[in-house]
Amino acid sequence: MLVPFENLPENSRIWIYPSNRKLSDTEVTEIEGKLHEFLTQWTAHGAALEAGFEIKHNRFIIIGLNQENASASGCSIDASVHFIQQLEKKYEIDLLDKMNVTFYTGQFITHKPLTEFKAMAKAKSISKNTIVFNNLINTKAEYVENWEVPADESWHSRFF
């Protein structure tokens, strides 16, 4: 069951899928339609899952799940990963590679492999004050409060 993302409770589970490139407005509109269709039909053991989504900065797909009524099962999580893989294939983007870092360089969002991010930190091209996207958060409350943070306030701090 699809609900507006903002109506999901703060303890809802969150999955963040960062794209390796900025999506066009047309792609965002298409992906929103596909997310609407998928989340409307998303179930766990026959029970409808109360889920919502948003796409931020034409780059991040965020799916939230209210687990108070029904939790995602292994099969339903597999279905969501398969759905994301279909998006990757159709739009020729990378959404599942966790070995990448997304961060601000000035007003622009940059997406780099982890090895390159570490090299940039070592070369002082970025600092512990660089705003990073902490895509490993688990709840909507963490997403709202701690998604865009200085690198020294996230798991990225180990590189400085």
Q: What is the pLDDT of residue 48?
A: 82
Token output for 45: 């053991």
Task: Give the Å distances, CA to CA, from 43 to 36, 59, 66, 84, 119.
Answer: 14, 26, 12, 16, 43
Q: Report the SS3 class of residue 146.
A: helix
Closest alpha carbon to 79 in 60, 51, 104, 98 = 51
DSSP for 36-56 reads: HHHHHH-EETTEEPEEEEEEE
Please give the chain's pLDDT, 160 residues, in tens.
899 999 999 999 999 999 999 999 999 999 999 999 999 999 877 778 899 999 999 999 999 999 887 777 788 888 999 999 999 999 999 999 988 999 999 899 999 999 999 999 999 999 999 999 999 999 999 999 999 999 999 999 999 9
C-alpha gyration radius of the chain: 16
C-alpha–C-alpha distance, residues 6 and 89, integer Å: 29
How is the beta sheet containing 60-66 ordered, strand by strand?
13-18, 60-66, 50-56
Q: What is the pLDDT of residue 160?
A: 93
Residue 61 contacts residue 35 (beta carbons within 8 Å): yes
